[in-house]
Amino acid sequence: MKNFLRYFLQGLLLFIPLIITLAILLKLFDFFSGLFAFLGFSNNSTINTALGLVLTISFIALLGILASSFVFKQFFNFIEDKLEHAPFIRHIYSPIKDFTNAFVGNKKKFNKPVLVLTNPLANIEEIGFITHQDLSDMHIKDKVAVYLPLSYSLSGKLIIVPKEQIKPLNIEASEAMKFVVSGGVTDVE
């Protein structure tokens, strides 16, 4: 039973982001195909479905194009700021955005896996990811910021450690993250 629960939670961690993405895509698809049916563009449901699919793909591509323009970036930053300060929405939007940005796009943060000596007396090390190499803006010298993800969770903790207490790991960042999040049961390739 214990193994089943562990595998269930591990599957859930992988499944939830996929389901959220699929749900958003399906809602967009339903909206656009329903729009064609409502407007009476065609009485044929196959044509409405095809047009809905084409418009959904076009809409997502258009968002990608707009996201690279200066004006849209400013507008998106304004909207994003409002979402991140909205009382209930910020607890949903911010973690999903941060988690996604950490792995994809131009803002990848978890790309430098390291082994951190967190307890020198017991010689305990943890796998983490360097998020900031230079902390001089905060008047911290000779230390780095390392994010330590927690197993079976989408959360973790940030620690500030001396550079001497970290060793780079020679594995892909995604493999290191899978290993940590799975509690060490996933094989590292």
- E-strand spans in the chain? 113-119, 124-132, 143-149, 156-162, 166-168
Would you say residue 98 lies in a domain? yes
Q: Are residues 99 and 132 in the same domain?
A: no
pTM for this entry:
0.50
Q: Give the 3-state secondary structure of residue 184.
A: coil
Q: Which residues contact 171 (CB under 8 A, 6 or more apart)?
A: 113, 188
Q: Are residues 172 and 135 in the same domain?
A: yes
Kindly list the strands in the beta sheet with 156-162, ordered across the sheet, starting from the edge strand earlier in the chain. 156-162, 143-149, 124-132, 113-119, 166-168
Q: Domain of residue 163: give its range.
A: 113-181
- Least-confidence region, from 69-78, 99-108, 130-139, 167-176: 99-108
Q: Are residues 93 and 141 in the same domain?
A: no
Would you say residue 129 lies in a domain? yes
Q: Are 181 and 168 in contact (CB under 8 A)?
A: no
Would you say residue 108 lies in a domain? no
pLDDT value of position 161: 93
Q: How many domains would you assign to the chain?
A: 2
Read off φ and ψ for residue 153, nearest 5 degrees: -155, 160
pLDDT tens for 119-134 read 989 999 999 998 888 8
Q: Are residues 28 and 117 in the same domain?
A: no
Q: Are residues 29 and 78 in the same domain?
A: yes
Would you say residue 186 lies in a domain? no
pLDDT tens for 19-65 read 777 777 778 777 777 776 666 666 676 776 777 777 777 777 777 77
Would you say residue 187 lies in a domain? no
Across the range 93-115, mean pLDDT stands at: 70
Q: Are residues 70 and 147 in the same domain?
A: no
pLDDT tens for 140-187 read 999 999 989 888 776 788 899 999 999 999 988 878 887 887 788 777
d(Cα 55, Cα 60) in Å, to the nearest integer? 9
Tokens standing for 95? Answer: 């973690």
Q: Within a 13 Å sphere around the CA of 122, how many CA atoms are in the beta-carbon half?
A: 5
**Helix (H) or strand (E) segment spanning residue 134:** none
